[in-house]
A and B are shown apart, each in its own frame.
Chain A
Amino acid sequence: MSDTGDSQSSAAAVELRRVTKSYEHGYRALDEIDLRVAQGEFVAVTGPSGCGKSTMLHLIAALDAPTSGSVLVDGHDLLTFRDLSEYRRNHVGLIFQFHNLLASQPIEANVEAVMFGNKMTAHERRERASDLLAQVDLAGREHRLPTQLSGGERQRVAVARALANHPKLLLADEPTGSLDSASADRILDLFRQVHEAGVTIVLVTHDVAIAAAADRTIHVRDGKTVEGVSATPHRGQES
Chain B
Amino acid sequence: MDFLAFMVRGVWAKKARSIGLALAIAFAVLIVVTLQVSSSGLERSAAAVISVGRANITVVQKGVSDVLSSTIDQSELDRISRVRGVASAVGVLVATEHLSSDTPLFIEIGIFPKDLAAFGVTVVAGHPYAATATNQVMLGWRAAANLKLHVGSRFYAQQTWNTVTGIYSTGNAFGDAGAMFPLPSVQGFNRLSGVVTLVFVKVTGTGSAKNIAAVVHRIEYSMPELTTITTATQFGRADQNLVYLQAAVTASSVLAVAIGAVIVGNTMLLSLFERTREFGLLRAVGWTRRRLIALLLGESLLLALIGAAAGVGLSFAVIALLERIPSLVGVLHANFTADAFTRGLATAVGMTVLGSLYPSIRAARLVPLKALSYE
Q: Which residues of A contact B (CB under 8 A)?
A: 58, 61, 63-64, 83, 85-90, 94, 96, 100, 102-106, 108-109, 112-114, 116-117, 122, 125-126, 161, 165
Contacts and interface: CB of A to CB of B under 8 A. Distances in A.
Interface stretch (B222-230, B284-292, B331-339, B343-351): B284-292
Nearest to B288: A85
A122 B2 CA distance: 5
A109 B9 CA distance: 10
A109 B286 contact: no
Interface residues on B, range: 20 to 34
B192 interface: no
A104 B9 CA distance: 7
Top 3 nearest A-B pairs (CB, nearest first) are A89-B286, A104-B13, A88-B286
A117 B287 contact: yes
B277 interface: yes
Contacts of A125: 1
A85 B1 contact: no
B282 interface: yes
Contacts of A106: 9
Contacts of B2: 122
A100 B10 contact: no
A93 to B, nearest CB: 9
A100 B277 contact: yes
A64 B284 contact: no
Contacts of A117: 286-288, 291
A27 B6 CA distance: 40
Interface string B358-375: 000000000011001000
Interface of B: 1-3, 5-6, 9-10, 12-14, 277-278, 281-289, 291, 368-369, 372
A34 to B, nearest CB: 22
A88 B284 contact: yes
A109 B6 contact: yes
B278 A113 contact: no
A109 B1 CA distance: 7
B286 A86 contact: yes
Given A85-B283, A88-B285, A63 B1 contact: no
B363 to A, nearest CB: 14
B6 A113 contact: yes
A122 B9 contact: no
A92 B10 CA distance: 25
A89 B2 CA distance: 17
Nearest to A61: B284
Contacts of B6: 105, 109, 112-113, 116
B9 A89 contact: no
B13 A103 contact: yes
Nearest to B294: A116
Identify which of B13, B277, B369 gathers the most chain A CB atoms within 10 Å of its CB: B369
